[in-house]
């Protein structure tokens, strides 16, 4: 009982939604902290991190840690690329597709390691490429990107360990329902974005 | 109904409440501010959708584990796929009739205390979710704040299921069982009215 409530409280705190400021830096908060908050407070990024964390939590500890490392490697690579090119088209779409797949896998309670690797890499890369810092100073860009990377990596690591810790039946049900909601949201967002693009050319 | 189930329900309600953001200002792709509230109210202000989604929860609670959580997992997933087809303009004939039939069928299942195999129940719920999803999808505003709107929409759907499950939990007691079956009967009758209007 206590374990389940602790888990839910943890998930609630991580998923607490706040106003979405798109990809603008958070007013008054810059640097590493601003970057970390950027990674956590953009709703679709937060949703992807939760989905990946829960998915990794369903794996065996060794596989979980290797897949988390793959995520961090892809995230780091993506952050370097976005620092160099400034903008990457379709990164948000890839992120949503991978999030929808993760949500579906969580909902059906199937977490094979052979899917964990590519999905962790796609989420890491797409999340980084969808995080272009909108500031002019190079030093500030680097600080924000480091913050984004740290925020996302710490969030996934914590979520994966927490999800791995909760193995009771009730916690599993909560995760499966959460997975179905995440998949449904990702599918609807993706379709709305595609329809908007088609409508606006 | 097991203790685990009530714990899960409480956790899901807490999670759903935590998912409600206060303001959603951005990601509006063409300046149309349709936010979390818009998405949340979208399924709630359609009585035909409300009764069917509550019926899914009622029936799940009536069937017990694992249907109680499996049916509300199947419904939003299938609904989202069908919603995407509706958003993208893929036509589906007889949507209104399908929605009315969903209320009649699901309400009748509860009223008759039907206990089909789990896969049949999931298939039935999934099939009806197609009509609900498509209807919502065609009504979704293009250019909406997609993330906040979709979050509101899915959370509201989940809350309606939870409302049904909470009421369905009364079926543990003999009097509650009668009340739940009566609720199923009412849902089926309302579905008949919708079917008559849609023909």
Contact A99, A28 (CB under 8 A): no
Listed in order, strand segments (DSSP E) in chain B are none
Contact list in A for residue B19 (CB cut-off 8 A) is: 15, 17
Q: Smallest Cα–Cα separation from A47: which of A185, A193, A192? A: A185
Tell me the C-alpha distance between A170 and A130, whole Å: 34
State pLDDT tens for residues A121-171: 999 999 999 888 777 778 888 888 888 889 999 999 999 998 888 877 778
Tell me the C-alpha distance between B11 and B130, whole Å: 28
Asked if pLDDT for residue A120 goes beyond 80, the answer is yes
Most B CBs within 10 A among A16, A38, A43, A166, hence the mutation to make, goes to A43
Asked if pLDDT for residue A183 goes beyond 90, the answer is yes
Q: Which whole number is the average pLDDT over A19-36?
A: 60
State pLDDT tens for residues B45-101: 888 888 988 999 989 988 888 888 888 899 999 999 999 999 888 998 989 999 999
Residue, of A198 and B1, whose pLDDT is higher: A198
Contact list in A for residue B144 (CB cut-off 8 A) is: 192
Q: Smallest Cα–Cα separation from B165: which of A192, A177, A124, A144? A: A177
Q: What is the pLDDT of residue B128?
A: 92
Contact A36, A127 (CB under 8 A): no
Residue B129 touches partner A, C-beta closer than 8 Å: no
pLDDT range class, residue A104, cuts 50, 70, 90 = very high
pLDDT range class, residue A19, cuts 50, 70, 90 = very low
A26 Cα to chain B: minimum distance (Å):
12
**Closest Cβ opposite residue B15 in set A11, A21, A192:** A11
Contact B82, B134 (CB under 8 A): yes
SS3 state at B158: helix
Q: Smallest Cα–Cα separation from A182: which of B44, B163, B23, B150? A: B150
pTM as predicted: 0.81
Q: Smallest Cα–Cα separation from A143: which of A51, A67, A71, A79? A: A79
In order of A170, A174, B68, B183, the CA distances from B65 in angstroms are: 11, 14, 5, 21
Residue, of A131 and A185, whose pLDDT is higher: A185
Tell me the C-alpha distance between A56 and A156, whole Å: 9
Tell me the C-alpha distance between A179 and B52, whole Å: 22
Tell me the C-alpha distance between A152 and A165, whole Å: 20
Q: Kindly provide the b/e burial profile for residues B159-198, where b requires at least 16 CB atoms within 10 angstroms of the residue's own CB.
A: bbbbbbbbbbbbbeeeeeeeebbebbebbbebbbebbeee
Q: Which whole number is the average pLDDT over A27-55?
A: 82
Contact check, Cβ <8 Å, A5/B30: no
Mean pLDDT for all residues in chain A: 82
**Closest Cβ opposite residue A21 in set B14, B26, B88:** B26
Q: What is the pLDDT of residue A20?
A: 42
A180 Cα to chain B: minimum distance (Å):
6
Q: What is the pLDDT of residue B19?
A: 55
Q: Smallest Cα–Cα separation from A178: which of A18, A43, A64, A8? A: A8
For A46, phi then psi, to 5°, come to -60, -40
Tell me the C-alpha distance between A60 and B168, whole Å: 37
Contact check, Cβ <8 Å, B140/A188: yes
Q: What is the pLDDT of residue A131?
A: 84
Sequence-distant (≥ 6) Cβ neighbours of residue B149 within 8 angstroms: A188, A192, B34, B35, B36, B38, B39, B42, B140, B141
Contact list in A for residue B81 (CB cut-off 8 A) is: 187
**Closest Cβ opposite residue A19 in set B22, B81, B84:** B22
Sequence-distant (≥ 6) Cβ neighbours of residue A142 within 8 angstroms: A83
Contact check, Cβ <8 Å, B140/A12: no
Interface of B with A in 5-34 (CB under 8 A): 5, 7-8, 10-12, 14-15, 18-27, 29-30
**Token reading at B90:** 């893929």
HSE-up of A62 (CA within 13 Å, CB side)?
A: 0
ipTM metric? 0.79
Question: Exposed/middle/buried for A120, CB within 10 Å: 0-12, 13-18, 19+?
Answer: buried
Interface of B with A in 94-113 (CB under 8 A): none
For chain B, which residues score pLDDT lower than 50? 1, 21-33
Closest chain B residue to the Cα of A11, Cα to Cα: B15
Contact check, Cβ <8 Å, A180/B30: no
Interface of B with A in 31-90 (CB under 8 A): 36, 69, 72-74, 76-77, 79-81, 83-84, 87-89
């Amino acid at each position: 009982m206590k374990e389940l409530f602790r888990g839910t409280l943890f998930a609630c705190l991580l998923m607490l939604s706040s106003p979405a400021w798109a990809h603008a830096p958070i007013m008054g908060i810059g640097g590493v902290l601003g970057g970390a908050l950027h990674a956590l407070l953009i709703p679709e990024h937060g949703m992807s991190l939760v989905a990946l964390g829960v998915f990794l939590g369903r794996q065996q500890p060794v596989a979980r840690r290797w897949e988390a490392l793959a995520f961090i490697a892809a995230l780091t690579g993506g952050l370097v690329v976005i620092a160099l090119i400034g903008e990457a088209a379709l990164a948000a779409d890839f992120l949503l597709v991978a999030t929808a797949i993760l949500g579906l896998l969580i909902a059906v309670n199937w977490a094979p390691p052979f899917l964990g690797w590519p999905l962790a890499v796609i989420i890491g890369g797409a999340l980084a490429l969808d995080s272009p810092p909108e500031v002019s100073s190079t030093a500030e860009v680097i600080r924000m990107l480091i913050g984004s990377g740290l925020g996302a990596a710490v969030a996934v690591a914590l979520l994966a360990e927490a999800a791995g810790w909760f193995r009771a039946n009730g916690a599993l049900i909560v995760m499966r329902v959460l997975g179905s909601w995440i998949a449904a949201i990702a599918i609807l967002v993706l379709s709305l974005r595609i329809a908007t693009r088609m409508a606006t050319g | 109904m097991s203790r685990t189930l009530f714990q899960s329900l409480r956790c899901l309600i807490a999670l759903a409440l935590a998912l409600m953001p206060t303001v959603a200002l951005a990601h509006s792709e063409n300046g149309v501010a349709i936010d979390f509230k818009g998405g949340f109210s979208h399924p709630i202000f359609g009585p035909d959708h409300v009764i069917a989604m509550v019926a899914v929860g009622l029936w799940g609670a009536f069937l017990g584990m694992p249907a109680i959580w499996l049916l509300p997992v199947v419904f939003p997933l299938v609904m989202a796929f069908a919603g995407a087809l509706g958003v993208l303009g893929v036509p589906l004939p007889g949507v209104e009739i399908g929605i009315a039939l969903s209320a009649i069928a699901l309400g009748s299942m509860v009223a008759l205390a039907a206990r089909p195999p789990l896969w049949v129940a999931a298939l039935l719920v999934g099939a009806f979710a197609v009509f609900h999803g498509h209807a919502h999808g065609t009504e979704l505003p293009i250019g909406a704040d997609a993330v906040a709107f979709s979050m509101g929409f899915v959370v509201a759907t989940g809350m309606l299921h939870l409302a049904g499950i909470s009421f369905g939990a009364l079926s543990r007691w003999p009097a509650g069982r009668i009340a739940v079956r009566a609720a199923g009967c009412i849902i089926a009758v309302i579905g008949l009215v919708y079917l008559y209007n849609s023909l």
